[in-house]
Amino acid sequence: MNDYGREASRRARNEKAKRAREQFLMLVLLLALVPTILCIILFTKQSKLQKDMAELKQELKKYELQANSNGTGNGNQGGVGIANATPFPTPESNNTPQPTNGTIPADGTSHKTGGDLSQEGSVVPATDVTPGTDLGNVTKPSPTPTPTPTPTVTPEPTMALDPETGEPLPWADKKVYITFDDGPSKNTDELLDLLNQYNAKATFFVIGHEGEESKRLYKRIVDEGHAIGMHSYSHDYEKIYKSVEDFEKDFTKISNLLYDSIGYVPDLYRFPGGSSNSRCKALTIQPFISFLLERDLRYFDWNVENGDATGKSYTVEELAQNLLDGVEKNRVSVVLCHDTNAKGKTLESMKIVLPTLVEKGAQILPITEDTPMIRHVKPAGED
């Protein structure tokens, strides 16, 4: 081979090597670029999703606020509130409260839910809350669904007449609102059967019992036209009345449980132990009263007791007589009774009370918007 030939083949080799180098560089570049581009695309996607999520969260908050304000009374929903609105369960309501104290024991006598249930209506030595302790934070908005006004059941003008004389029966102008606290219990079904039998309606101030059986009972109560009200979740005076925040926690739990069971939050409340309970004095109950009023709830105490929680061991007949004696003295009676596993005698006494009230022509009604409020302690500023 001559020089010229050698030179040509060297050039060709160089050319080839150069091309190979270029190809290699191209490959490296490509390998580096593809992941970078992918990263950029994914990053953009992710930030867009994050933005969407933030927007959705805001929207949800808006709906929750709307749902809350719809129920609080001023109007264009006709006061029907959240029962008719699309429900927006709060995080708490997805988070079903733990059944710490609740399924109805089958054996009967002991009522497990917090607090000393036998205290109600009885005089218990007071344990004072130091005035002002933790009671200041009243105006924190509640995350619970808004209470729904109890439907007004307009009772037919039933002036019961004596079929023989045509005259009004002796108790025809009496209105009797029997209330059962602390339920539901293993007695609730029979109690409801009995009320049905006498075409009587009552009010159940219920507490937090977990489980399907209790849910069924909460629902049966309202399905059969009785009024339902809240009576706290735990019924534990020490917990509930510790501070408004503790009261709110408990209130949220019972609200959510009832919302899940009956589809709305009742607008009736009975303080455990009543508004004049042994844990709170007239002054220290006021923040809790304000809490309820701010949420358009009404609270009821009682002016007649059958005495089933006074600590005295009344017979069935005595329980009935206590109740009837009380009713005799009033034109409007809100009667305190209890519906717990241990109150079988109260259930039995209704077999005397109900026929007697019917016979004398009294109206046995559920608490409605028209019911005169019987309250031991009134909101501050009201006479």
C-alpha to C-alpha distance for 293 and 222, rounded to whole angstroms: 23
Determine, following the binding rule CB under 5 A, whether residue 181 of this chain makes contact with Zn ion. yes
Which is closer to Zn ion, CB of 120 or CB of 305?
Answer: 120
Total of chain residues touching Zn ion, rule CB under 5 A: 4
Give the interface segment with Zn ion, choosing from 14-22, 182-190, 192-200, 213-221 (CB under 5 A).
182-190
The string of DSSP codes covering 318-332 is HHHHHHHHHHHH-SE
Site for Zn ion in 256-295 (CB under 5 A): 272
The distance of closest approach from Cβ of residue 89 to Zn ion in the complex, given in angstroms and rounded to an integer, is 27
Which is closer to Zn ion, CB of 182 or CB of 348?
Answer: 182
C-alpha to C-alpha distance for 272 and 230, rounded to whole angstroms: 10
The distance of closest approach from Cβ of residue 336 to Zn ion in the complex, given in angstroms and rounded to an integer, is 9
The distance of closest approach from Cβ of residue 203 to Zn ion in the complex, given in angstroms and rounded to an integer, is 13
The distance of closest approach from Cβ of residue 151 to Zn ion in the complex, given in angstroms and rounded to an integer, is 24
CA 283 to chain centre: 25
The string of DSSP codes covering 64-123 is HHHHHHHHSSSSTTTT-GGGTSPP---HHHHSPPP-TT-SPPSS-S---SSS-GGGTTS-
CA 359 to chain centre: 36
Give the interface segment with Zn ion, choosing from 38-46, 158-166, 178-186, 321-329 (CB under 5 A).
178-186
C-alpha to C-alpha distance for 7 and 192, rounded to whole angstroms: 113
Place of tokens 């200041």: 136
Which is closer to Zn ion, CB of 85 or CB of 367?
Answer: 367
C-alpha to C-alpha distance for 95 and 249, rounded to whole angstroms: 14
Determine, following the binding rule CB under 5 A, whether residue 301 of this chain makes contact with Zn ion. no
What lies within 8 Å, CB to CB, of 313 at 6+ separation is: none
**Binding letters toward Zn ion, positions 124-163, x by CB under 5 A:** ----------------------------------------
* Run of H or E residues at 2: none
Q: Nearest-CA neighbor of 94 among 58, 50, 141, 143?
A: 143
Q: Nearest-CA neighbor of 205 among 302, 93, 108?
A: 302
Among 92, 182, 236, 339, which residue sits at the site for Zn ion (rule: CB under 5 A)? Answer: 182
Which is closer to Zn ion, CB of 181 or CB of 267?
Answer: 181
Which is closer to Zn ion, CB of 181 or CB of 248?
Answer: 181
Determine, following the binding rule CB under 5 A, whether residue 120 of this chain makes contact with Zn ion. yes
The distance of closest approach from Cβ of residue 231 to Zn ion in the complex, given in angstroms and rounded to an integer, is 5
Site for Zn ion in 341-380 (CB under 5 A): none
The distance of closest approach from Cβ of residue 193 to Zn ion in the complex, given in angstroms and rounded to an integer, is 23
Give the interface segment with Zn ion, choosing from 119-127, 210-218, 243-251, 258-266 (CB under 5 A).
119-127
Residue type, 300: F
The distance of closest approach from Cβ of residue 102 to Zn ion in the complex, given in angstroms and rounded to an integer, is 15
Which is closer to Zn ion, CB of 175 or CB of 270?
Answer: 270
The distance of closest approach from Cβ of residue 271 to Zn ion in the complex, given in angstroms and rounded to an integer, is 9
Cis peptide before 184 (omega within 30 of 0): yes
Which is closer to Zn ion, CB of 308 or CB of 348?
Answer: 308
**Helix-helix angle 188-197:344-359, to 10 degrees:** 10
Which residues form the interface with Zn ion (CB under 5 A)?
Answer: 120, 181-182, 272
